[in-house]
Structures are given as structure tokens and as C-alpha cells.
Structure 1
Amino acid sequence: MEKSVVNFNPTHSKYIEYIMALSGKKLIRLGYPEGPVIGLALSVIQQHYKKLKKEELNILLKTVLENPSEYTEHEYLGSIAKSLLPPQGTPKSFELRKNNPAFAIYGGADIEPIALNQMETAMCLPIAQEGALMPDAHPGYGLPIGGVLATQNAVIPYGVGVDIGCRMCMSIYDLPTQKLEQDKNTFTKMLMDHTRFGHATFQKPIDHAVLERKEFKEIPIAQSLKDRAYKQIGSSGGGNHFVEFGLVEIVDAHNEYQLPLGEYLAVLSHSGSRGLGASIANYYTKLAMQTCQLPQHAKHLAWLDLDSEAGQEYWLAMNLAGDYASACHHQIHERLSQAMGEQARVRIENHHNFAWKEQNAQGDEIIVHRKGATPAGKGALGIIPGSMTSPGFIVRGKGNSLSINSTSHGAGRVMSRTKAKKNLSAKVVKQHLQKAGITLIGSGLDEAPMVYKDIHQVMAHQKELVEIIGKFIPKIVRMCGDHRFIEVD
């Protein structure tokens, strides 16, 4: 039954400008806490309460704030009310196991001790079932990047990662490969005109079916992020995200796509779920840490039980973010295909930074977290990139149970961003790029090729996990920023 704290259908409209200008600061002054509920409240107001007088709107917002439990079933205000209520369930404290179960390590000699320690801590969780550490592993928050963790009926938001559903996507074209060198300026301009990174977005975003998903209506945090998701769709993040033209060499005559051996022109992209995924990750990590209390050094490994409402909600939100990330990649590739006037012959893609429901060797369901790791079940196809001056690889999984059907998601860092900016020379990096024949738009010293491990060594460490179908050689690379790499004095 609908509550009637004020007239919900007034005839007044003179205060529309006030409502349109309503900011988070004004809501905070009313007593609303900082966080997702601010964006959610603004979204509900814009959609359903534009005609309220300023005084009526303040009363409405204040009443819901003071009595959220009375409005959880309201058609419009319910999502705000649920966001204002404290987390469900009584906080529980958990101790770690004294002795962590053994886990497989690939390329251990090249993995930093901090990353090894983080994986050992994760294996001490009472919900941990199996684990593995990929050869590109390096430190992260909670689970290390390159960490794979199987749990029982529980999901760890920081075990998935902040950039939910970050993924690789490759389109292969039947075009003469020499065009990349002959028409370098044309292809460079295509990347400038048809890709966006970081805070830059398209003036006219292309709509997509993922934006009509019911989760955007039923999950409060997702509802508050829908407008942002629309603005950012088809764009890429900053950091190590890229879109690049390059050459693919197919080396397996029995590949699933029936591509003859030889070279092809290709587009490769790496990006994730943008602000949508980051906000979902941070919101549910905070929720997990409030209800699942762990020792300080393990606090980021807090989990949500999948039988709980919060756990089920996160699972739906995570999958929404993953599908949104896929939609972004598809739009990136479609824009470039249209610019080239060509249709891709083959498209290959895979998630990392995700959790899957799978079965272990005994046939029991497990939740497999791959934070910076690629699915490599029997016959599964994926892409493992190197750096901008080293090759990436198209791979087929061998289904190795010791790695929990996983492989690396890239080369992995050997140098932090801070250390790279402090120690690397722009002149040396530029010379390195020129020697490799790479045209680079954007980026910075923190993404220079030398901050990454040798991809050939990484691949050598995981021969028992994947077999190589093809090799990708970057030629024209775009990352965050519109300048031609680094200006050298």
C-alpha cells in the first residue's frame, strides 16, 4: 500500500528548475549519507517527482530518510529506502585457518613475495576450497592479480576485482596486412575518431539492449548508475586499457574458426565495465566487510554468502557489469568495422576479473574467482596479451584441474606505476617504441613495455595449461590520452 507523506501527484511545476539543479550536497545537508544512495535518490526524483514543490520534496526526502523501513515496498521510494537501511544480518567475525591448503603456482620464481603471501592468506579463508597462482601474478587488493580461488557458496567482491568483467576482444579481418603500414595515418585516425578513453565519452552514445536489463530497475545500486553507464558505453577505461590494430598469425591449421594458416589484419581491445563495475565492486565490498569481519591483513577478502539477499544481489549485479563490459567491446569493434567498411571474419573474446559457478573434480559446485586470470577449460578459447612491443597469443585451454581450468590474463607487471614514473626515461621508452615500429597514441611511462614481464617466459610457464592457436603483433596502439605518446625534450 502506497504511503502518502505528501501529495505525490501535485499540479505545481514552478520548482522544476530547483529539482533539476538538486545536487548531492543538498541531499547530504538533508542528512543523506555519502555513497550510492545519493545518485539513486536523484535518479528517482528526476523520473517520478519533478512536479513537487521545493518544500514538499524536502519533506518527502526527509521522511524516507527518517523512516526507511516503512517505505521498502513503495513503488518508487523503495529502492532509496532499502539503500538507507543497515546491512542485513548480524556482523560475524571469522578466524583464518592455521595451515592453508596447498595450491598450484606457475612461474613462482618470477612472482613477488607479496603476491605469494596474499594468495596464502586467501587459502586460509574458511570458505576456500582450491587455489592457483598464474605466472603473471603480482600484488593486488585482497586476492592478488593472477590469483584463482574456488570457494564454497560464497563470493568475494575483491576476489573478482574492481573492474568487473574486464575482458579481451579480438576481431580478425580478411584485409591485406600491408595496409597497416601503407595507410598508417588512416588507421591511426580511425582510432582517434572512433575510440574514447578515461573521462572522454562519445557525444552520441549508441544504445544497447544491455541498458534495458531488469537489473537496472530492480537493484538499487545499478539503478543509480544507469545514466552513467549509458554515457560511458562504447568507451574504454584508463590505465592498461587499450585498443590497437595489429597482425594476427594463425599457427594451428585445425583452429575452431577454420582460418587458413597465415597473417591477418586484426583489432584487439582490453577494457572493462567502466564506472558501473567499479561502483558495484566498491559498494558490495563495503557491505561484505560490514557483515564478514576478518583479521586486518585479510579484510579485503570479506565475502557474501550466496544464500543471502546481498550475495544474490551482487551476483546479479556482477553479471550485469560483465555483460555491459562485453557490450562496450562490441561497440568499439563495430565502430571500427564501419570505419574500415569491413565485417570481421572472426571475433574472439573472454572475461577476466569475474566469478563463475563451476564443478570441481568431485562434481560439486564451486565459485571460481579469476582476478586477472583467463578461463582455460578444455577447448575454451582466450587471448593473452603481452606488452605494446611484444606479442599476444590466441590460446585454447587444456582443462588442467590443478590450475582450476585457468591461465594468465597477460604478461603481468614487474614494476609499479610509481616506480615506473620515477625510474624510466621518456627518451629511452620512445626509442624502444620506434625500434619496435609501434605507433602509440596516449599512455605514459607507467605503461611502458619494460614494466611488464617477458611474455615468452610467462607462456613457457603455462604450457600445460594452454596451447597456442595464433600470435598477435601490435602495430598501432591507443591508450588513455590524445597525444602521440611522450614529448621528449
Structure 2
Amino acid sequence: MAREKLKGKDILDLGYPEGKAIGLALNLMDKYYKSTAKDEQLAILNDLFHNPEKYRHHKKLEKLVQELDAEKNKLREIALTEGALDFKTYGAEYIEPGAVFQMETAMSLPVTVAGALMPDAHQGYGLPIGGVLATNNAVIPYGVGVDIGCRMCLTLYDLPVHTLDRDKAKLKQFLNDNTRFGAGKGFEKPMDDPIFARQEFKEIAVARANKDKAREQIGSSGSGNHFVEFGIAELSSEQNEFDLPAGSYLAVLSHSGSRGLGATIANHYTKLATQNRKLPPHARHLAWLDLDSEEGQEYWAAMTLAGDYASACHHQIHERLGKALGEKPLVMIENHHNFAWKEKLGDGREVIVHRKGATPAGKGVLGIIPGSMTSPGFIVRGKGVEEAVYSASHGAGRIMSRRQAMDTISAKDVKEILARHGVELIGGGLDEAPMAYKNIHHVMASQADLVEVLGTFTPRIVRMDR
């Protein structure tokens, strides 16, 4: 009669946690105790589980003790440090208490090294929007955010700005024909892109499962505050990186991210992080993955893929509109937020910098900080301020929640303010009304030490979801 074989369920019944320890136990029993009866194997594993110190230096079973230690540590609630690390807040008078509390919580994580709060900050999940957090060898999926790699992209064209008035109907049609917005939306015939040849789409299960969706949505934009706009870019100085004279240019500005691909990646790895690392309830969305772990390395690769996919979406948006205009852009400027970077602090330490709704502003780094649909955005060059963790705001930031905006702002109010500023709006909801946002001039004044303004972008024709 064949010897009864040990199964994973048998080990689970001993109290072993679900995870790698069960697979390792099965392998070790098969390798070293193959001729031992099943009952005896279970007795050994039971003794090891309840008396791990006896086996800590066991030549055959020490690895199982180490794995159990690791899994038990993951499941044990991790205490926050006594007292949050100090962090610099920019524009504190414009920031709600909930965002400050979230930042203080993030600064109490045992992996936190440094942080800063930008003047557009408001409350979110985990790290506040406008929060910047540097950690030691750890990445926080909700410190990056759901819309991984969300970004700004601006192209300038050699066309007279009076085209915006003269050909307004034509430009509106260009936006309708060449952009798509909203959950699940895409083009009937999406363009191909080299990103779909990336190995991550083969090697990472969650990316592989969402490749077809990503292909369907390439070149499209999400809902909420995502937009594509025609407007006027003003370069204020001849001394710029673009080799362009100061003056006015017809321009296209877009804001969107990694669509369903990024959201699925974010939710998948957030679930893994919260399962493996238990934090106090108010900090639960700040669970992290160690970068030297398999899950951490896999998330980093998936996050990078989603960020590159977001960039590819923007490039296709601008390519379509450039073809419609019959022009090649003079220059393209882009930057992303909702991402994590490996960077070095002034003392040489390598850290993981999370910018959830914050713009990279290292010395000489270019970026775009938009206002609302009736206020200008700014083309900026970073000054590299370490106290701000080399960052700036990613926009004006909300002063009202979406619900507040829909409850207090009328369609008539929005129509009047758009007319007053000469802005044409296609789509858009009351939750994105200009009045729902902070004053961008106040925000920029609060971070004058962080960025140098090279120019502005003023929206004239705005396309959003709905």
C-alpha cells in the first residue's frame, strides 16, 4: 500500500498561516523525511510550530523556522513610532486638518525618513493628496495612489493664438474626435504602442490579466479631474530650455493617468501589503512592501509599467491632436505624480520618495502645475529644496469635496464664470467647477522657494468626461 502523502491542508490544520511556510514545509518533508510516516511528519511540524527555538539551528528545518518568524511578524500589528518626525508644510493656511493628520500618521511609520506637505494638499486615502514621503527601502502602494503615474503633458505649436477664436468650432471638433474620457472608455480602433511588447506584460500576473484592457484604453483619459485643453502658453523669458523666443503659443495641455491598468495594480498590491503588514486602523492604508521582497520588487516593476503606460497615453493624445492641427509640436513638456522614485537625500542616503499628488522639483527639473479651468497653469523649473523633499504642488488642490461642490454650486454659476473667462467647456461636472479649487496664485506664492516660473498656460477650450 502506498504511503499516505502529506498535504497542505494537513499543515494548515496545525495552525500554520497561509503562505510560503506551508509550501516550504511540504518541500522539506519530501526532501528529508520522505520515508517517514505522515503522522510522524505532522508531529515534527507541530513540535516545530509550538517550539521553534528547538529547531532554530536545525540543519534541515532552520529555514522553516525563519519563514514562520517572517510570516508571524507580518501578521503582528506594527506600532507607530512615538511622536511623528517633523515635516515642512507649505501654505498651511490653505490645508484642512484631515490632511495634516494623515501626514502626521505617515511621519510616524517606522520606515519613514522624511516628508513634506505641499500647499495644494487635501485629505485622501493613506498619504494625503499633496503629501511627499521618503521611506527606507519600502514602497507604500497607497502612498503612490490608485491612478499610478498620473501626469501632465504640454505641447506648444507654431500657430497664432487667434486660431483659438477664429477656428473655435473646428478645435472643439478636434477634441471630440481625438479624445475619449471615462471609466472603461477607449477608441473603437486604438493605436498600437511599443509598450505592449514589454516583458512585464508577460511576467507579472496582474499586468498580464489586464493587457487587453490596457490595449483597448490606450490614448484615452479617465474621469474626475482629467482633461485635455487647447489654450495659450506664454513663455516669459528667452532664457529657457526649449530654445524658443518669449511670447505666446497655441498649446495643448493634458492631465490623466494609467487608466484601468494602474487602478488594478494599485488595488492588488495594496491588498497584499495590508494582508502582510497589519497597522493600527487609522494607518492601515499606509501598509508597505519591502523592496527586497518578491512582492515589493514585483510592485515596483508593475508601477513602473503603469507609469510608462500613462506616458504612452499622453503621447498618443498629443499625436492625434497634432495630426488634426497639421502641425508638429515645437516642444513637449511633461511630468508625473502618483509615483515613487529612488532618490538620494543631501546626506547621500538612498530613499524611496512617494509623491502622491506632488510634482518632482529637483534642481533643474521641469514640470507643469495646472490651476483650474478658469485660472492659469504654470511651467516651472525646480529649485531642488531638500526640506520639501525636492517637490512642489501638482495643482491648485481642492477646497471643496466633490459632494460639497455638487451640493453648493449650480450649473448657472459655472456657466457665468466660464463666460467671464472666455472658456468653452465640453463635458465636465459640477464637482470639477472652478470654485471647487483653491486659488492657484495663493498656492504658487506659498511655494515660491521651491520652483521658478518659466511661463503660464491659460485654458480656452476644455474637454472633460460627461
Partner of 1:105: 89
Paired with 1:195 and 1:144, the residues of 2 have a C-alpha distance of: 30
Deviation at 1:362, TM superposition (A): 1.1
Matches for 1:75-94 after TM superposition, within 5 Å: 89-90=71-72, 91-92=74-75, 93-94=77-78
Partner of 1:152: 136
Partner of 2:403: 418
Q: 2:311 aligns with which of 320, 326, 333?
A: 326
Paired with 2:181 and 2:71, the residues of 1 have a C-alpha distance of: 40
Q: 1:123 aligns with which of 75, 93, 107?
A: 107
Per-residue CA deviation, residues 337-388 of structure 1 (Å, 9 max, x unaligned), is 0011100000000010000000011111100000000000000000000000
1:465 paired to 2:446: no
Per-residue CA deviation, residues 135-155 of structure 1 (Å, 9 max, x unaligned), is 000000000000000000000
Per-residue CA deviation, residues 5-42 of structure 1 (Å, 9 max, x unaligned), is xxxxxxxxxxxxxxxxxxxxxxxxxxxxxxxxxxxxxx
Q: 2:149 aligns with which of 162, 165, 170?
A: 165
Paired with 1:253 and 1:415, the residues of 2 have a C-alpha distance of: 38
Contact kept in structure 2, 1:103 and 1:131, CA below 8 Å: yes
Paired with 2:353 and 2:306, the residues of 1 have a C-alpha distance of: 17
Q: 1:206 aligns with which of 191, 197, 201?
A: 191
RMSD over equivalenced CA pairs, Å: 1.2
Q: 2:288 aligns with which of 281, 303, 311?
A: 303
Partner of 1:248: 233
Paired with 1:425 and 1:224, the residues of 2 have a C-alpha distance of: 42
Contact kept in structure 2, 1:249 and 1:261, CA below 8 Å: yes
**SS of structure 2 residue aligned to 1:266:** strand
- Larger Rg computed on CA atoms: 2
Per-residue CA deviation, residues 166-186 of structure 1 (Å, 9 max, x unaligned), is 000000001011001010000
Q: 1:257 aligns with which of 228, 242, 245?
A: 242
1:227 paired to 2:212: yes
Partner of 1:83: none
Q: 2:348 aligns with which of 330, 343, 363?
A: 363
**SS of structure 2 residue aligned to 1:203:** coil
What code does the residue aligned with 1:375 have?
P
Deviation at 1:429, TM superposition (A): 1.1
Deviation at 1:252, TM superposition (A): 2.0
Matches for 1:253-402 after TM superposition, within 5 Å: 253-402=238-387
What code does the residue aligned with 2:416 have?
Q
What code does the residue aligned with 1:149 have?
L
**SS of structure 1 residue aligned to 2:240:** coil
Q: 2:165 aligns with which of 167, 181, 186?
A: 181
Contact kept in structure 2, 1:205 and 1:233, CA below 8 Å: yes
Paired with 1:124 and 1:200, the residues of 2 have a C-alpha distance of: 40
Deviation at 1:200, TM superposition (A): 2.5
* Range with greater deviation from structure 2 (129-138 or 427-436): 427-436
Q: 1:441 aligns with which of 426, 429, 445?
A: 426
Contact kept in structure 2, 1:378 and 1:397, CA below 8 Å: yes
Per-residue CA deviation, residues 385-431 of structure 1 (Å, 9 max, x unaligned), is 00000000000000000000000000000000001111111111111
Deviation at 1:89, TM superposition (A): 4.1
Deviation at 1:201, TM superposition (A): 1.1
Scaled by the length of structure 2, the TM-score of the pair is 0.84
Paired with 1:456 and 1:436, the residues of 2 have a C-alpha distance of: 16
Paired with 1:397 and 1:230, the residues of 2 have a C-alpha distance of: 34
Deviation at 1:257, TM superposition (A): 0.5
Paired with 2:186 and 2:216, the residues of 1 have a C-alpha distance of: 7
What code does the residue aligned with 1:185 have?
A
Identity %: 65
Paired with 2:426 and 2:165, the residues of 1 have a C-alpha distance of: 16
Paired with 1:263 and 1:89, the residues of 2 have a C-alpha distance of: 60
Paired with 1:89 and 1:382, the residues of 2 have a C-alpha distance of: 42
Paired with 1:224 and 1:156, the residues of 2 have a C-alpha distance of: 22
Structure 1 runs (4+) deviating above 6 angstroms are: none
Deviation at 1:258, TM superposition (A): 1.4
**SS of structure 1 residue aligned to 2:343:** strand
What code does the residue aligned with 1:425 have?
S
Paired with 1:276 and 1:139, the residues of 2 have a C-alpha distance of: 24
Paired with 1:295 and 1:252, the residues of 2 have a C-alpha distance of: 51
**SS of structure 2 residue aligned to 1:293:** coil
**SS of structure 1 residue aligned to 2:228:** strand
* Range with greater deviation from structure 2 (252-261 or 344-353): 252-261
**SS of structure 2 residue aligned to 1:474:** strand
Per-residue CA deviation, residues 299-318 of structure 1 (Å, 9 max, x unaligned), is 00000000100000000000
What code does the residue aligned with 1:153 have?
N
Paired with 2:355 and 2:226, the residues of 1 have a C-alpha distance of: 18
Paired with 1:428 and 1:146, the residues of 2 have a C-alpha distance of: 28
Paired with 2:126 and 2:250, the residues of 1 have a C-alpha distance of: 39
**SS of structure 1 residue aligned to 2:210:** helix
1:95 paired to 2:79: yes
Q: 1:238 aligns with which of 215, 223, 231?
A: 223
**SS of structure 1 residue aligned to 2:459:** strand
- Is there any run of 5+ residues in structure 1 with no aligned partner, and where? 1-66, 71-87, 482-489
Scaled by the length of structure 1, the TM-score of the pair is 0.80
**SS of structure 2 residue aligned to 1:276:** helix
Contact kept in structure 2, 1:252 and 1:468, CA below 8 Å: no
